[in-house]
Amino acid sequence: MKGIKMMELPRNVVVGPGVIHEILPVCSGLKLYGNCIIITGNRTEKIAGKIVKEELEKEYSIDMVRVKESNEREVERVVELSKKIDAGFIVSAGGGKIIDVGKLSARKLGIPVVSVPTSASHDGIASSRASIKGVDGRTSVEAVSPVAVIADTEIISSAPFRLIASGCGDILANKTAVMDWKLAYRLRDEEYSEYAAALSEMTAEIIMESGEVIREGLEEGVRLVVKALISSGVAMSIAGSSRPASGSEHLFSHALDMIAEKPALHGEQCGVGTIMMMSLHGGDWERIRKVLKSIGAPVTAVELGVDDDEIIEALLMAHKIRPDRYTILGSGLTRRAAKKLAKKTGVI
Ligand SMILES: [Zn+2]
């Protein structure tokens, strides 16, 4: 199969207020058959899992499973139960971890998964990648793209605004991710997709220009962020890798996850990483900082709730996280350069 790359994309994307009630026609329209297993969480069961169950029960036989974390054990639990009831498809109704467990279980079982996100804090809601917690922290692995995404903006708006702001950080990260990708293409002749890169950049640009509608309680802003997160996922699917949406700023965030005593949210850390990596690229980091600030996302160590030292250590460690991923960090920063960067950009 060398040279043949599958571009796996969601077939149905429904975004808007109240669309959760459309789940039955979406599933039957996609000809999903057999028993259905709903993965949900303790809090998200009340706001989404229950509704999905009530709707789907009209036509399907349902089993519901609550998961707390995205790890091997939880995936195994879902896989076992799915086999026991002979599940034909999975519906993940919940936050990022629940969506990830659904995508990983679906891959193992070879059945489709429908994503019903209850928050919009990162671009995993429509992508084929999933983050899983292992012995040495979180890693991102290949799973499957959801066959449908049903993003009810009424439900997503009711989640804490901090999550939406974090989602914006994950989208702005596309800016530096694409710059890193272009660098790797020029210096290492890495595989590159103009189309995926353009889509990813445009997605970030839309958020950059719409800062004023992304406000607590504004459904319009939530819809914009959700659509942008889905586009980022699609860009990754087109590229067949996370390259268009994950570069040096993500490496910084992954390093901070390992180093910080109390890490912040993924997208929040990526946003701060984007400010610093944009400065390394010689780009307009002040603009990134201004947009994040206007949305209400953190732009400093204090706002992230981490120490200045942890920022420096994460900057020093970042290039080692994924040695195969060439970025502006090259073979790493010196301690003096890392300090200078964090100070110059106002992070510490
Ligand atoms: Zn991300």
| Superfamily classification of domain 161-344 | Dehydroquinate synthase-like - alpha domain (1.20.1090.10)
Q: What pLDDT does 166 receive?
A: 96
Q: How far, in Å, from the CA of 123 to the mean position of ligand 1?
A: 6
Q: Are 124 and 269 in contact (CB under 8 A)?
A: no
Q: How far, in Å, from the CA of 160 to the mean position of ligand 1?
A: 19
130: closest CA among 28, 51, 39, 31? 39
Q: What confidence tier does 134 reach under pLDDT thresholds 50, 70, 90?
A: confident
Render pLDDT for 16-64 as a digit per residue (tens, 0 to 9): 999 999 999 999 999 999 999 999 999 999 999 999 999 999 999 999 9
Q: How far, in Å, from the CA of 265 to the mean position of ligand 1?
A: 10
Q: Which residue has the higher pLDDT, 310 or 133?
A: 310
Q: How far, in Å, from the CA of 226 to the mean position of ligand 1?
A: 14
Q: How far, in Å, from the CA of 170 to the mean position of ligand 1?
A: 5
Q: What pLDDT does 211 receive?
A: 82
Q: How far, in Å, from the CA of 250 to the mean position of ligand 1?
A: 6
Render pLDDT for 302-346 as a digit per residue (tens, 0 to 9): 999 999 999 999 999 999 999 999 999 999 999 999 999 999 999
Q: How far, in Å, from the CA of 263 to the mean position of ligand 1?
A: 14
Q: What confidence tier does 78 reach under pLDDT thresholds 50, 70, 90?
A: very high
Q: Which residue has the higher pLDDT, 184 or 126?
A: 184
CA distance 122 to 99: 11
Q: How far, in Å, from the CA of 142 to the mean position of ligand 1?
A: 14
Q: How far, in Å, from the CA of 245 to the mean position of ligand 1?
A: 7
Question: Which residues have their alpha-adjacent CB atom under 5 A from ion ligand 1?
Answer: 122, 170
Q: How far, in Å, from the CA of 230 to the mean position of ligand 1?
A: 12
Q: Are 326 and 180 in contact (CB under 8 A)?
A: yes
Instruction: Assess whether pLDDT exceeds 70 at residue 122.
Output: yes
Q: What pLDDT does 249 receive?
A: 98
Q: How far, in Å, from the CA of 246 to the mean position of ligand 1?
A: 6
**Straight-line distance from the first to the last Cα atom of the chain, in angstroms, rounded to the nearest whole number:** 49
Q: Averaged over 218-222, what is the pLDDT?
A: 92
Domains 12-157 and 161-344 share a fold: no
Q: How far, in Å, from the CA of 331 to the mean position of ligand 1?
A: 22
Q: How far, in Å, from the CA of 129 to the mean position of ligand 1?
A: 10
Q: What pLDDT does 140 receive?
A: 82
192: closest CA among 17, 46, 326? 326
Q: How far, in Å, from the CA of 140 to the mean position of ligand 1?
A: 9
| Domain-wise residue ranges, the chain | 12-157, 161-344
Render pLDDT for 276-312 as a digit per residue (tens, 0 to 9): 999 999 999 999 999 999 999 999 999 999 999 999 9
Instruction: Assess whether pLDDT exceeds 50 at residue 1.
Output: no
- Residue 8: CB atoms within 10 A of its CB come to 15
Q: Averaged over 96-103, what is the pLDDT?
A: 96
Q: How far, in Å, from the CA of 339 to the mean position of ligand 1?
A: 24
Instruction: Assess whether pLDDT exceeds 80 at residue 5.
Output: no
Give me the phi and psi of 91, to 5 degrees please.
-120, 120
For 74, 138, 257, 343, the CA distances from 314, given in Å and listed in that order, are 29, 15, 9, 14
Q: Averaged over 262-274, what is the pLDDT?
A: 97
CA distance 219 to 209: 17
Q: What pLDDT does 8 receive?
A: 82
Q: How far, in Å, from the CA of 122 to the mean position of ligand 1?
A: 6
Q: Which fold has domain 12-157?
A: Rossmann fold (3.40.50)
Q: What pLDDT does 142 receive?
A: 86
Q: How far, in Å, from the CA of 251 to the mean position of ligand 1?
A: 10
What mean pLDDT, rounded, does the chain reach? 95
Render pLDDT for 192-211 as a digit per residue (tens, 0 to 9): 999 999 999 999 999 999 98
